Amino acid sequence: MADPFFAEIRIFGFNYAPMDWAFCDGGLIPVQQNPALYSLIGNIYGGTANQTFGLPDLRGQAALGAQSPSSPSVLNLKSGQAEVTLTANQFPAHDHSANATTEAGSTTNPAGNVPGFAAAPLKPYLKYDGVIPAPALVSLAPTTILPAGAAAPAAHQNCQPYLALNFCICTNGIYPDFND
Protein backbone atom coordinates (compact mmCIF):
# COMPACT_ATOMS: atom_id res chain seq x y z
CA MET A 1 0.00 0.00 0.00
CA ALA A 2 1.34 3.44 -0.88
CA ASP A 3 2.48 5.55 2.06
CA PRO A 4 -0.60 7.36 3.38
CA PHE A 5 -0.81 10.86 4.80
CA PHE A 6 -1.90 11.53 8.37
CA ALA A 7 -5.70 12.07 8.39
CA GLU A 8 -6.14 10.46 4.96
CA ILE A 9 -9.37 8.47 4.77
CA ARG A 10 -9.59 5.24 2.79
CA ILE A 11 -12.24 2.60 2.29
CA PHE A 12 -11.49 -1.00 3.21
CA GLY A 13 -13.46 -4.12 2.32
CA PHE A 14 -12.49 -6.10 5.42
CA ASN A 15 -13.81 -5.94 8.98
CA TYR A 16 -10.83 -4.50 10.88
CA ALA A 17 -8.78 -1.31 10.84
CA PRO A 18 -5.22 -2.01 9.61
CA MET A 19 -2.17 -1.00 11.67
CA ASP A 20 -1.80 2.81 11.78
CA TRP A 21 -5.47 3.28 10.82
CA ALA A 22 -8.61 3.78 12.93
CA PHE A 23 -12.27 3.32 12.04
CA CYS A 24 -14.10 6.52 11.15
CA ASP A 25 -16.61 5.86 13.92
CA GLY A 26 -16.65 9.16 15.81
CA GLY A 27 -14.38 7.82 18.54
CA LEU A 28 -12.49 10.22 20.83
CA ILE A 29 -8.68 10.16 21.13
CA PRO A 30 -6.60 11.94 23.79
CA VAL A 31 -4.54 14.74 22.18
CA GLN A 32 -1.31 13.50 23.82
CA GLN A 33 -1.85 10.07 22.16
CA ASN A 34 -1.61 11.52 18.64
CA PRO A 35 -0.64 15.23 18.53
CA ALA A 36 0.22 15.05 14.81
CA LEU A 37 -3.28 13.91 13.84
CA TYR A 38 -4.79 16.47 16.23
CA SER A 39 -2.76 19.24 14.56
CA LEU A 40 -4.47 18.40 11.26
CA ILE A 41 -8.09 17.79 12.22
CA GLY A 42 -8.34 19.52 15.61
CA ASN A 43 -11.85 19.40 17.04
CA ILE A 44 -13.70 19.51 13.71
CA TYR A 45 -15.29 16.13 14.51
CA GLY A 46 -15.81 16.64 18.23
CA GLY A 47 -13.83 16.42 21.44
CA THR A 48 -12.61 18.96 23.98
CA ALA A 49 -9.97 21.47 22.86
CA ASN A 50 -6.43 20.45 23.84
CA GLN A 51 -7.72 17.33 25.65
CA THR A 52 -9.48 15.01 23.19
CA PHE A 53 -10.37 15.07 19.51
CA GLY A 54 -13.00 13.18 17.56
CA LEU A 55 -12.53 11.04 14.51
CA PRO A 56 -14.93 11.51 11.60
CA ASP A 57 -18.06 9.36 11.93
CA LEU A 58 -18.90 7.83 8.56
CA ARG A 59 -21.08 5.03 9.92
CA GLY A 60 -24.29 5.07 7.91
CA GLN A 61 -23.17 8.22 6.05
CA ALA A 62 -22.24 8.93 2.45
CA ALA A 63 -19.09 11.01 2.02
CA LEU A 64 -19.43 14.30 0.10
CA GLY A 65 -16.63 16.55 -1.10
CA ALA A 66 -16.37 19.64 1.12
CA GLN A 67 -16.13 23.17 -0.26
CA SER A 68 -16.83 22.18 -3.85
CA PRO A 69 -17.75 24.97 -6.29
CA SER A 70 -21.30 23.61 -6.65
CA SER A 71 -21.97 23.17 -2.92
CA PRO A 72 -21.35 25.31 0.16
CA SER A 73 -20.53 22.14 2.18
CA VAL A 74 -17.98 22.53 4.94
CA LEU A 75 -16.08 19.86 6.85
CA ASN A 76 -18.27 17.82 9.21
CA LEU A 77 -21.55 19.22 7.80
CA LYS A 78 -24.14 16.47 8.19
CA SER A 79 -27.31 16.51 6.15
CA GLY A 80 -30.05 14.18 5.00
CA GLN A 81 -32.10 11.51 6.72
CA ALA A 82 -32.06 7.73 6.49
CA GLU A 83 -35.85 7.61 7.00
CA VAL A 84 -38.60 10.13 6.25
CA THR A 85 -42.18 10.34 7.48
CA LEU A 86 -44.40 12.31 5.12
CA THR A 87 -47.07 14.55 6.61
CA ALA A 88 -50.21 16.01 5.08
CA ASN A 89 -48.39 19.37 4.76
CA GLN A 90 -45.98 17.81 2.24
CA PHE A 91 -48.74 16.94 -0.22
CA PRO A 92 -49.93 19.67 -2.58
CA ALA A 93 -53.29 21.19 -1.67
CA HIS A 94 -55.95 20.19 -4.15
CA ASP A 95 -59.66 19.59 -4.47
CA HIS A 96 -61.89 17.57 -6.72
CA SER A 97 -65.20 18.39 -8.29
CA ALA A 98 -67.93 15.77 -8.17
CA ASN A 99 -71.35 15.51 -9.74
CA ALA A 100 -74.39 13.58 -8.56
CA THR A 101 -78.02 13.35 -9.51
CA THR A 102 -81.26 13.43 -7.60
CA GLU A 103 -82.76 11.02 -10.15
CA ALA A 104 -83.38 7.39 -9.26
CA GLY A 105 -80.47 5.18 -10.17
CA SER A 106 -80.69 2.25 -12.54
CA THR A 107 -77.50 0.27 -11.74
CA THR A 108 -75.20 -0.58 -8.85
CA ASN A 109 -72.12 -0.45 -11.10
CA PRO A 110 -70.14 2.79 -10.52
CA ALA A 111 -68.03 2.52 -13.70
CA GLY A 112 -68.81 5.47 -16.00
CA ASN A 113 -71.78 6.55 -13.88
CA VAL A 114 -72.51 9.18 -11.23
CA PRO A 115 -74.10 8.78 -7.77
CA GLY A 116 -77.88 8.89 -7.72
CA PHE A 117 -80.69 7.96 -5.32
CA ALA A 118 -81.98 4.42 -5.18
CA ALA A 119 -85.58 3.89 -6.13
CA ALA A 120 -88.01 3.14 -3.29
CA PRO A 121 -87.95 1.10 -1.07
CA LEU A 122 -84.10 1.27 -0.98
CA LYS A 123 -83.82 4.97 -0.08
CA PRO A 124 -81.58 6.52 1.25
CA TYR A 125 -78.91 4.23 -0.22
CA LEU A 126 -77.07 5.58 -3.25
CA LYS A 127 -77.25 3.88 -6.59
CA TYR A 128 -75.56 4.79 -9.85
CA ASP A 129 -77.30 6.06 -12.90
CA GLY A 130 -75.90 5.61 -16.38
CA VAL A 131 -78.58 7.56 -18.21
CA ILE A 132 -78.93 11.00 -16.66
CA PRO A 133 -80.58 13.96 -18.29
CA ALA A 134 -78.16 16.92 -18.21
CA PRO A 135 -80.41 19.21 -16.13
CA ALA A 136 -80.62 16.59 -13.37
CA LEU A 137 -76.86 16.80 -12.60
CA VAL A 138 -76.06 18.64 -9.40
CA SER A 139 -72.59 20.07 -8.86
CA LEU A 140 -71.35 19.27 -5.36
CA ALA A 141 -69.26 21.80 -3.42
CA PRO A 142 -65.52 21.26 -3.98
CA THR A 143 -63.73 20.17 -0.87
CA THR A 144 -60.24 19.21 0.13
CA ILE A 145 -59.82 15.48 0.40
CA LEU A 146 -57.78 14.52 3.45
CA PRO A 147 -55.47 11.51 3.56
CA ALA A 148 -57.10 8.44 5.03
CA GLY A 149 -55.58 5.40 6.63
CA ALA A 150 -53.28 4.96 9.59
CA ALA A 151 -53.50 7.69 12.21
CA ALA A 152 -49.70 8.00 12.34
CA PRO A 153 -47.92 7.60 8.99
CA ALA A 154 -44.95 5.26 9.09
CA ALA A 155 -41.46 6.31 8.00
CA HIS A 156 -40.07 4.98 4.74
CA GLN A 157 -36.42 4.46 3.85
CA ASN A 158 -34.83 7.38 2.04
CA CYS A 159 -31.57 5.76 0.88
CA GLN A 160 -30.00 5.40 -2.51
CA PRO A 161 -28.67 1.90 -3.27
CA TYR A 162 -25.53 1.33 -1.23
CA LEU A 163 -22.76 -1.10 -0.29
CA ALA A 164 -21.54 -0.98 3.31
CA LEU A 165 -17.74 -0.74 3.62
CA ASN A 166 -15.37 0.42 6.36
CA PHE A 167 -13.96 3.94 6.28
CA CYS A 168 -10.67 4.34 8.16
CA ILE A 169 -8.46 7.34 8.90
CA CYS A 170 -4.67 7.18 8.89
CA THR A 171 -3.27 7.72 12.39
CA ASN A 172 0.42 7.34 11.50
CA GLY A 173 1.79 8.33 8.11
CA ILE A 174 3.46 11.12 6.19
CA TYR A 175 2.75 14.56 7.60
CA PRO A 176 1.36 16.62 4.69
CA ASP A 177 2.99 19.90 3.67
CA PHE A 178 0.76 22.96 3.64
CA ASN A 179 0.57 24.78 0.31
CA ASP A 180 0.66 28.52 0.91
CA distance 67 to 123: 70
Give me the pLDDT at residue 63, please.
84
Give me the pLDDT at residue 154, please.
78
- Mean pLDDT of each 10-residue bin along the chain, 180 residues long: 91 96 98 98 96 96 75 73 79 69 69 67 52 55 58 76 93 89
Q: How many CB atoms lie within 10 A of CB 120?
A: 7
Give me the pLDDT at residue 97, please.
67
